[in-house]
Amino acid sequence: MAYTEELVARCSAADAAVALGVITVLSAAQHYPVLGHFMSARSLNAEMLMREISGGLTRELTDGMAAGVFHSDDVGLATDMVLGMVRVAMLRLASRQTEPLSPDEYISGAIAAILRCLGVARSRALELTSTAPVTPVFAENSIVARAQARRDAHEKGGHLT
């Protein structure tokens, strides 16, 4: 989450910040399915995680609503809508269940849907879906990389020593 927050902080437009945050989180779930499963499963009942995710998002949504970029009557409802879509998308990406769309098409579609639900014009939403994904790279000895390596080995029928 700190990695995503650091990237998003560089954005000057609220809609670009939301798009970059979503693409970064979904790209991480795509490339590290173990993380995607954990995040999607824990996101509704892990208070600390929800606070971390929604804190930055709520700021961006509030700023975007104040600037007229997002059209919503309630920041809480807007936050819930974004987090709900992100949670489901993380699970679908981690489970490799995006067909008939490719994972990249699915991520672009999810971003466009989120932005359109927030009131962003179709042309702007499509423009923002072309944001290049920035996948965090975890150190080989990190818990995420180790857990993913174990899962990959298990799926291949082997074991990790």
pLDDT of residue 76: 86
53-104 residue pLDDT tens = 566 788 889 999 999 999 988 988 898 888 889 888 988 998 889 999 999 9
Provide mean pLDDT across the span 143-153: 69
Q: Which of 79-88, 93-102, 107-116, 118-127 comes out lowest in average pLDDT?
A: 79-88
Q: Where are the domains of the chain?
A: 2-155
Is the pLDDT score of 50 beyond 70?
no
The CATH classification of domain 2-155, taken from the options 3.50.50.60, 1.10.357.10, 3.30.365.10, 2.40.160.20: 1.10.357.10
Total residue count of the chain as it appears in this document? 161
Q: Are 123 and 148 in contact (CB under 8 A)?
A: no
Split at pLDDT 50, 70, 90, the class of 3 is: low
Tell me 132's DSSP state: P
Report the candidate in 11, 90, 26 with the shortest Cα–Cα distance to residue 56.
11
* pLDDT given for residue 113 in this prediction: 95
Give residue 81's identity as a one-letter amino acid code.
Answer: M
Token pair 């994972």: residue: 103
Higher pLDDT, 148 or 22: 22
Here the tokens at position 56 are 């930055």
Largest CA distance in the chain: 54
> Minimal CA–CA distance to 18: which of 52, 51, 50, 64?
64
- N- to C-terminal Cα distance for the chain? 29
Cβ(13)–Cβ(121) below 8 Å: no
The candidate with the shortest Cα–Cα distance to 31, out of 138, 112, 141, is 138
